[in-house]
Amino acid sequence: MNTERTEYDAVLADPAGVAPREPMRVLVAGGAGYIGSVVTRLLIAEGHHVTVLDDLSTGHADAVPSGVELVRADIADAGTILARGGFDGVLHFAAKSLVGESVSDPAKYWRTNVCGTRALLDAVAEFSVPRLVFSSTAAVYGEPDAIPITEDAPTRPTNPYGASKLSVDMMLAGECAATGLGAVSLRYFNVAGAAWGAGERHGTETHLIPLALDAAAGRRGPLTIFGEDWPTPDGTPIRDYIHVADLARAHVLALGAATAGRHLICNLGSGQGFSVRQVLDAVTNVTGLDVPQQVGPRRAGDPARLIASHERARAELGWAPQQGLADMVRDAWDFAANLANR
């Protein structure tokens, strides 16, 4: 049995799924990574034609579903694919995304995230691709003045990763005005979970939920809580977690909503905050296992509280999150267990 197909059918059967629209031909840059591979699955389930471009520096070839063409190349070579013509859109996930690494090796972040994207945009313009959806991040905001964070909040990134993503958002604004491109920047909050057989497989894992699951399963040592002296009810930082399947739906909606000459920026979060301790409780509830843990010092650059306003995504894209923290933990748990049993 072709299980992948069955999973796609389940996506299509989901009445809360994205409404059917004309099939598009799209390039997914970074489609072998975590979020790109989930979005690729949804695009295919929705009937779109997908080509994946990925240099496999952090992605995995087997994360690309069978039947989808994978071109292993640098983002700067996107033109060789777009030159084939007929592309209706680009979804751009190809980036370096480790905050700590961006501090120790900023050049890598400017080169890949900014110069790489510039080359991609040159190809998009040269081959007249009409729309682009970009993976931006809540890291562009830095320490917020007010919660929930709207798209009009001040942008004061506290690390080169956030600065590189903000630079691309700014680049896109000019690009849309000058060339007629229709672009949407989606500013992700804390993405978690797995969907349709794809999930998080980072060589260097820094995210709370996969680390907590691994600690609970005994696949790694105790989880270190980065400080419990924060100005929050239980002393641990609060984040807005969003299920990767909800995030994927927003991308497909954004592709349809991209309008010539307009740059739209939308936050993607659930609008709800959970502390580190609440996440660890959710892990225990879902898995029935305690999370071995210790308390360490604060991590440099961590804000106390990040919660999205997603009112704009609701209004502009017709999007609303459908899954909660327990769904994310459960799906990430199942995915990690499958991976461990391979």
- Under the binding rule (CB under 6 A), the answer on residue 206 touching ligand UDP is yes
**Separation between Cα atoms, residue 107 and residue 90, nearest integer Å:** 25
* Tokens coding 39: 């979005």
Bridge partners of residue 188, in order along the sequence = 137, 268
- Under the binding rule (CB under 6 A), the answer on residue 190 touching ligand UDP is yes
- Under the binding rule (CB under 6 A), the answer on residue 295 touching ligand UDP is no
Bridge partners of residue 238, in order along the sequence = 275, 305
Maximum Cα interatomic distance, the chain, rounded to a whole number of Å:
55
Q: Taking each helix axis from N to C terminus, what angle separates 325-340 and 208-217, rounded to the nearest 10 degrees?
A: 50
Chain position carrying tokens 């003045």: 145
Measured from the CB atom, the residue of 185 and 190 that comes closer to ligand UDP is 190
Instruction: State yes or no: is 161 an active-site residue.
Output: yes
- Under the binding rule (CB under 6 A), the answer on residue 208 touching ligand UDP is yes
Residue closest to ligand UDP (Cβ): 237
Part in contact with ligand UDP (CB under 6 A); list of ranges 25-33, 217-225, 249-257, 331-339: 217-225
With CB under 6 A as the contact rule, the residue among 150, 155, 224, 278 that binds ligand UDP is 224
Could you tell me which residues come within 8 angstroms of residue 315 by beta carbon, excluding any fewer than 6 positions away? none
- Under the binding rule (CB under 6 A), the answer on residue 223 touching ligand UDP is yes
To ligand UDP, the closest distance from the beta carbon of 81 in angstroms equals: 31
With CB under 6 A as the contact rule, the residue among 73, 147, 211, 320 that binds ligand UDP is 211
CA atoms within 13 A on the CB side of 217: 19
Considering the candidates 109, 161, 188, 241, report the single residue annotated as catalytic: 161
Residue 138: name the closest of 190, 100, 180, 87 by CA: 190
To ligand UDP, the closest distance from the beta carbon of 67 in angstroms equals: 33
- Under the binding rule (CB under 6 A), the answer on residue 277 touching ligand UDP is no
- Under the binding rule (CB under 6 A), the answer on residue 74 touching ligand UDP is no
**Separation between Cα atoms, residue 330 and residue 131, nearest integer Å:** 34
**Separation between Cα atoms, residue 52 and residue 37, nearest integer Å:** 9
With CB under 6 A as the contact rule, the residue among 118, 207, 277, 314 that binds ligand UDP is 207
Catalytic residues: 161
Chain residues that interact with ligand UDP, rule: CB under 6 A? 190, 206-208, 211, 223-226, 237, 239, 276, 299, 302
